Amino acid sequence: MTLREQLEIRQQQWAAFHRWELLNPAPARDPGEVLADLGAIWNWLPPDVRSEDPDPEKLGIRKMRAALARLRT
């Protein structure tokens, strides 16, 4: 399978998702409920996974702060 074929398949998948999403809008949810769900998912992870820092240099946080600084100006 060529890269072009893979991209076409992926585009078809995204198009199908967007059609489905139009017919099935996400329900309005309280932000507290969303955070509670995230907390539950976090608690399901094993302790060794929760204690591992995937970004020890905090590059993601630096990028986010740089992007926010641009938005403020």
For the stretch 3-62, pLDDT in tens is: 999 999 999 999 999 999 999 998 999 999 999 999 999 999 999 999 998 888 999 999
In the structure, what pLDDT confidence band is assigned to residue 1 with cuts at 50, 70 and 90? confident
Query: Whole domain around residue 27: which residue ranges?
Result: 3-72
Q: How confident is the model at residue 73 (pLDDT cuts 50, 70, 90)?
A: confident
**Tally of domains within the chain:** 1
Determine the pLDDT at residue 15: 97
In contact, 42 and 50? CB cutoff 8 Å: yes
The pLDDT assigned to 3 comes to 92
Tell me which DSSP letter residue 56 carries: T
Q: How far is it, in rounded angstroms, from Cα 68 to Cα 72?
A: 6
One-letter amino acid for residue 22 of the chain: L
For the chain, the farthest-separated pair of C-alpha atoms sits apart, in whole angstroms, at 46
